[in-house]
Amino acid sequence: MNTARLAARAATVTAVAAGALALAVPAFAHVEVASDTAQALAAKATLTFTAEAESSTAGLAKFQVVLPAGIAPADVTLADAPAGWTFAATADGFTVGGAALPQGKDAVYKITIKQLPDAKELVFKTLETYSDGSIVRWIDLPQGGTEPEHPAPTLKLAAAAPGATPLAPSTAATPTATTTPSAAASSAAPSVTPSITASATPAAAAKSDDSSSSAAPVAIGAAAVVLLAAGGAWWWRKRSTTR
C-alpha cells in the first residue's frame, strides 16, 4: 500500500516537473507554406502561408518574403489576406501586411504564382513583424537532419507532369521599380542643373565677346571720321589765310 502511494506521488511530481519544464521552454510558432498544386512546373499555383501568433503582447502585422530561385516577383499576385492588408512586390520577393491582427490571432494569406519552377523544394525565407516592432526571422535551413529553431517555410514539390514545359518569364516591372526612377531623377537633378548652367555660361560669354569685338571697329571708324574732318577744316582755314 505504501509502495503504491509512493509510486503515485512520484508520478505526480514527475508530471508537475514536466509541465514546469514545458512552460519554462518557449514554444516557437512556425510559419508554414502549403499548396494543393505542389508540383514542379505547375501553372497558376496557389500557396497558403500560415503564421502562428506567439507574442503575448502584440499582433502580427507584416511579412517580408524572399522568393526562391525560379520565381520572379512579377509572377506573384495576392490571392487572399486578412482584411485591409496590402501586397507589394520587392526586388527579391514581396511584402504583405497592414493593420495588426489581434494578439494571439494567427495570420493566413495566399499568393498565386504564374508557374512553379522545376525544383524539388521551394524555400521562402520570411521576416515576421509584430505590431510592437519585434521581428522574427524564419530563415534557417536544416543542418545535419536537425530542424533549426526558426526554420524557413519550405514547400516540397512532386515531379513535373509529363509534357510540362516552362512558361515565358514575365516582363512586367515590379511596383518598387516605379519609385526608383523618380528617386534617381531627384538625385540626378543637381548634376543636370550645373551642366546646363555651365553650357550656357560660355555661350553668354562668347556673345559678350562678339558684341565688344564688333563694336570696336565702329568706334575706330568714328574716330577716323572726326580726325579727317578736323584735318580738312585746318587745311581749308590755312588756304583761306594764304589767299
**What pTM did the predictor assign?**
0.61
Note whether 106 and 98 are within 8 A (CB).
no
pLDDT for the residue 168? 86
pLDDT for the residue 138? 98
Backbone angles phi, psi at 107, to 5 degrees: -105, 135
Question: Is residue 97 pLDDT above 70, yes or no?
Answer: yes
Q: Extract the runs of DSSP E, i.e. beta strands, from the chain.
A: 31-35, 43-51, 60-66, 76-80, 86-89, 93-97, 107-115, 121-123, 125-130, 135-138, 154-156
Note whether 46 and 112 are within 8 A (CB).
yes
What is the pLDDT confidence band of residue 220, given thresholds at 50, 70 and 90? very low
∠88-93-97 over CA atoms, to 5°?
40
What is the pLDDT confidence band of residue 179, given thresholds at 50, 70 and 90? very low
Backbone angles phi, psi at 53, to 5 degrees: -75, 130
pLDDT for the residue 2? 55
To the nearest whole number, what is the mean pLDDT of the chain?
74
Question: Is residue 225 pLDDT above 90, yes or no?
Answer: no
How much is the average pLDDT of 39-55?
Answer: 97
Burial class (CB in 10 A: 0-12, 13-18, 19+), 21: exposed
